[in-house]
Structure 1
Amino acid sequence: MEPMRRSLTHRGTVGPLPVLVAAAVLAAAPACSSPESSDAAQEAAEVLEAEEANAPEGERVATVLADEIEVRSEPGGGEVVHTLASPNDLGADRAFLVREVRGDWLEVFLPVRPNGSTGWIDADDVEITVTAYRVVVDMAEFSFTVTEGGEEVLTGPVGIGTGETPTPPGEYYFTELLRPSDPGGEYGAYAFGLSGFSDTLESFAGGPGQLGVHGTNDESGLGGEVSHGCVRVSNDDIVWMAERLPVGTPVEITE
């Protein structure tokens, strides 16, 4: 319905997968290396290959361990472009969807404007978990699909933004799970915050125009353009998601 308001009650992360992922980096051996160093490099490569083969499949989620985290423009010594607090403004532990791993540095999607922004964080400052879930919202079909490990596990209708307040397409992730104070109200039983923001509303009802995926008290609007940018789903579907999908789950919205 509307971009996320500040009147919702934080429920906390539901069902995070407690799987730690170790990132390893192998330095390439120079062409002039001795047979001993070549053997060592080959052994290291085999170890890395085995670790990658045994690593859980899915998307990496980085949850901040301290009360804030510095986001840099480049891995290592890049300029600090953001310092983000944890918990976030809605009371949830700060989490990021990881885009790339480069040694001890992680490129992550950022919950800031403009949509699709990324930055680099130190892997030592976060805990890494993995989720096999993914949500795809097809605005052309007014539908969503949840997959787990690439297998379809749930589909349903959606309501999306109107022509004046459209839902912006892009790659996002869930930043928090909230329980509305009135489960029979316009946000339905639960609401996930998204890492994206409205392109037309700089602010809304005291908030920054943050997008969300939430239930609804009027399911007749599903299958049409009815919201201020958020994605509406049925209450049954949002309850199913709330019971299974962790913060950090990737959400792709397509036109």
Structure 2
Amino acid sequence: MSRLSLLAAAAAVPALLAAGCGSTMHHPAAIATVRPRGAQCVAGSFRKYGNARVSYAAIVRGHASAARRPGGRAFARFGKLNVNRVPTIFGIRGARVDRVCSPTWYLVQLPMRPNGATGWVRAADVDVASTKARIVVDLSARRVTLFQNGRRVLSATAAIGSPSTPTPTGRYYVNQRLIPTDPSGPFGPGAVGISAFSNVLTGWTQGGPIAIHGTDAPWSIGKAVSNGCIRLPNPTLRRVFARAIAGTPVIIHA
């Protein structure tokens, strides 16, 4: 992806399948209510959310502040919509719960630098969505694998970052899905935005965000030639786009 392409993407993506679209929406306390009747927890205790089959996303209702600890001073603030004017999404890692096991604060992964940054947000400030999809990117094999409910449903060769602009490794999540106005352009028919940022291109528009997207250069598939993004053949990208909803974990490893 070139700098010009990235600027074009930000300007030419008015259409969006909202990051939570197609997922199951819940009230902030709804996950905790899926428990045996009369369940009790130690007030203030921590409960981990998600496993190999299901993950959760927090969708900002109006505004949300992230703190280093529950009730602490905010170090980052987020509106209902992000810079691309689409819903702001966090990846839920766990929650602090009350004595009836309802979440009061969520520990979430944030779509900001440094990669993998986490913080605590009030449960009352977000809605919750669930997803049974998971994406694994193997950089050494240059391959993207999509799992649904723990089962592999797709595996395809991809283009990855070049040696000078490598794709960052780590655990991330899908935080936005964008549809370019020109499906024949450098992003192909769509882009699955993830919470990662380039470790090299820090001065780029929007901080150098990473995405899984289509391409107008099919010859590049299988090569290490991008500026950090992950390119897929356009037909494959459409299949990934359809399943990779809000909060879908994206694990990138060498």
State the distance in 2 between where 1:174 and 1:8 align: 20
Identical residues among aligned pairs (%):
32
Give the partner amino acid of 2:65: E
Does residue 110 of structure 2 align to residue 101 of structure 1? no
State the aligned residue count: 227
| Contact preservation (8 Å) 1:213, 1:232 | yes
TM-score where L is the length of structure 2: 0.83
Alpha-carbon distance change, 191 to 2 in structure 1, aligned in 2, over 3 angstroms: farther
Does residue 160 of structure 2 align to residue 164 of structure 1? no
Does residue 158 of structure 2 align to residue 155 of structure 1? no
SS of the residue corresponding to residue 23 of structure 1 reads helix
Tell me how far 1:7 sits from its aligned partner.
2.3
List aligned pairs for 1:239-254, cutoff 5 A: 239-254=238-253
Q: Which residue does 2:57 correspond to in 1? A: 61
Tell me how far 1:167 sits from its aligned partner.
0.5
Deviation string 1:40-77 (CA, Å, 9 cap, x unpaired) is xx95359xxxxxxxxxx5101111111x21111102x2
SS of the residue corresponding to residue 189 of structure 2 reads coil
State the distance in 2 between where 1:44 and 1:227 align: 50
| Contact preservation (8 Å) 2:136, 2:250 | yes
Q: Which residue does 2:220 correspond to in 1? A: 221
List aligned pairs for 1:163-202, cutoff 5 A: 163-202=163-202
| Contact preservation (8 Å) 2:212, 2:232 | yes
Larger Rg: 1
Structure 2: which 5+ residue stretches go unaligned?
42-52, 98-103
Alpha-carbon distance change, 122 to 161 in structure 1, aligned in 2, over 3 angstroms: same
Which of 18, 31, 36 is equivalent to 1:22? 31
Give the partner amino acid of 1:111: P
Give the partner amino acid of 1:7: A
State the distance in 1 between where 2:149 and 2:249 align: 13
Give the partner amino acid of 1:101: A
State the distance in 2 between where 1:245 and 1:219 align: 22
Q: Which residue does 1:128 correspond to in 2? A: 128
State the distance in 1 between where 2:128 and 2:194 align: 19
Structure 1: which 5+ residue stretches go unaligned?
27-41, 47-56
Alpha-carbon distance change, 198 to 13 in structure 1, aligned in 2, over 3 angstroms: same
TM-score where L is the length of structure 1: 0.83
| Contact preservation (8 Å) 1:2, 1:230 | no
Tell me how far 1:245 sits from its aligned partner.
2.0
| Contact preservation (8 Å) 1:2, 1:229 | no
State the distance in 2 between where 1:96 and 1:225 align: 29
Which of 6, 11, 20 is equivalent to 1:7? 11
SS of the residue corresponding to residue 242 of structure 1 reads helix
List aligned pairs for 1:14-53, cutoff 5 A: 15-20=21-26, 21-23=30-32, 44-45=39-40
List aligned pairs for 1:228-243, cutoff 5 A: 228-243=227-242
State the distance in 1 between where 2:38 and 2:93 align: 28
State the distance in 1 between where 2:162 and 2:206 align: 19
Alpha-carbon distance change, 126 to 226 in structure 1, aligned in 2, over 3 angstroms: same
State the distance in 2 between where 1:254 and 1:2 align: 23
Tell me how far 1:79 sits from its aligned partner.
1.7
Q: Which residue does 2:48 correspond to in 1? A: none
Does residue 76 of structure 2 align to residue 70 of structure 1? no
